[in-house]
Amino acid sequence: MSVRDAFDALLGLHKRAMTLTRGSDTIDIFASPSNYSRNLAGPSETVIEGREFVISKTQIQAPFTGLRRGDRLTDPELGVMSISEIVEMYSLGGEIVGWRVRTS
């Protein structure tokens, strides 16, 4: 089993069906909620609320080639969330296997 297969298997244990949208393009994906709860205090004690998910690269297919800030995730329970931050996740060989995304 490769690192990518193990990563996908782990994410498969805790996943939610979502729709990824960019402009008029949409695809159905699975995203795994992260245990990280985003309730950070910003400048002037502004509270920034959002959620964090991990998305495997194997979920992304045409017409998407990756994720971009501003892409939207739609979840049946959580509603529409806009991706505000993207962090690449690498395997041991330096290959991107997925992304940790934060929404706002």
Tokens of 3: 């690192």
Q: What is the tens place of the pLDDT at every residue in 12-33?
A: 999 999 999 999 999 999 999 9
pLDDT at 88: 96
Question: Stretch 2-11: mean pLDDT, rounded?
Answer: 92
The pTM score is 0.86
Domain residue ranges of the chain, discontinuous segments joined by +: 3-103
Q: CA 49 to CA 46: how far, in whole Å?
A: 10
List pLDDT tens digits, range 59-96. 999 999 999 999 999 999 999 999 999 999 999 889 99
> Given a cut of 80, is residue 39 above it in pLDDT?
no
Nearest CA to 57 among 98, 94, 85, 100? 98
